[in-house]
Structure 1
Amino acid sequence: MTRFAPFLLLALVACGDNDPRYLISAPAETGTAGQVALRVATLEVRQVSLPAYAAEDEILREDETGALKPVQGALWADTPPRAMTQLLADRIAARSRAQVAAEPWPLSTPAQALVDVRVSELAARLDGQMHLTGQFAISSPDQIVRERIAPFAIAVPLAGDTPAEIARATGRALEQLAEQVIATLRR
């Protein structure tokens, strides 16, 4: 039996994970039109903190009992904390004149301000909306801007309950969050 073990292992690896994977998507920004000046020249977006259920690979939606259940055979293309952090950094960078990057900060001079997002709820609910709630903190080690904590409660309509629609609504909710961060740091 032990001489068949390597073949069994190879067969299991070959089967792999064939579930479709979905990107947290948002409409692409074009050009520099609409860029706003922030009170900082550099901004680091810390990794988004998610509840355990939202940090998993499965795409979830609320069912009739109120339980969050995985959408059959649908996974996120990237780990949710990393994908959401990068999308926020990309959106803030596209809409502002600041240099923005997700942590770890890639430059030798530290960022003038940091954004720390802590999500308390991220769920495709039965009311037909994607809910994103929590708070974000702006910190500034050199006190270039006033430090603060701001709550957010965002609800974005779901065009359907498919994984693709849940991914699009998640992206739109994160875009709204990026706009709130920008408004907080705007000159």
Structure 2
Amino acid sequence: MMKLPLPLLLVSVLAACGTAPGYQLQVQPTEARYATAARTIMVREISLPDYATDDTMARQNAAGAVEVMSRVRWADLQPRAVTLALSRQLNAMLSATVAPEPWPLSGLPDGEVDVRVDRILAGADGLFHLDGVYYVRAEGVSLGVPSRDFAITVPLPGEEPAQIAAAQSTAVAQLATQIARSVSR
């Protein structure tokens, strides 16, 4: 009988159990373009509530509590996924080059966007909610108001994970539009 090393044995057992499908955020196509005084902007890793910091998908139940959906996973950890989606959306909309933290380009960015989310959740009210505040810091250029609150709601066509993922993608795209407008000239 062949003995497998413990790490290989664990991987084999986990693979045999099967995994839940992973859902990912989609960057929304846009034709909107905004000119900004910055040449480069960095999006800091987005701060999310505890229930949204790993790869589990959560929603609000009828009693108002946040519950983790069983056997439903995001394809990536949410802080990273939302940061990347927002960065790509902003990069498509702004005249500046936008990239996520850690800064992958040479030199320092002209500006930074720091997003702190209070709620990112499929609500029991049939809406997807994305609420929080974002901060804009700039060196040597004007990027408008240094902070703004946001409260975005997107209709949920249903409670299926794919519908929640689509609504979250739309909400992140709407946040990108708000940020792009606020940092434009």
Do they fold alike, i.e. is TM over 0.5?
A: yes
The amino acid across from 2:164 in the alignment is I
Give the Cα separation in 2 of the matches to 1:11 and 1:46: 37
2:13 aligned residue: 12
Q: Give 1:31-70 correspondences, 5 Å limit.
A: 33-70=31-68
The amino acid across from 1:14 in the alignment is A
Structure 1 length as normaliser, TM-score?
0.89
Moved more, 126-135 or 68-77: 68-77
Match of 2:109 among 108, 111, 132: 111
Give the Cα separation in 2 of the matches to 1:10 and 1:81: 26
**Percent identity of equivalent pairs:** 36
Match of 2:92 among 91, 94, 114: 94
Tell me if structure 2 keeps the 8 A contact 1:26–1:168. no
Tell me if structure 1 keeps the 8 A contact 2:33–2:94. yes
Structure 1 stretches lacking a partner, 5+ long: none
Structure 2 length as normaliser, TM-score?
0.90
1:166 aligned residue: 164
Question: Number of matched residues?
Answer: 181
SS at match of 2:141: coil
SS at match of 1:87: helix
The amino acid across from 2:126 in the alignment is G
Match of 1:144 among 136, 141, 145: 141
The amino acid across from 1:89 in the alignment is S
Deviations 1:9-58 (A, max 9, x none): 464233255111101124334xxx43221121111000000011111211
Structure 2 stretches lacking a partner, 5+ long: none
Give the drift of 1:123: 1.0
The amino acid across from 1:144 in the alignment is V
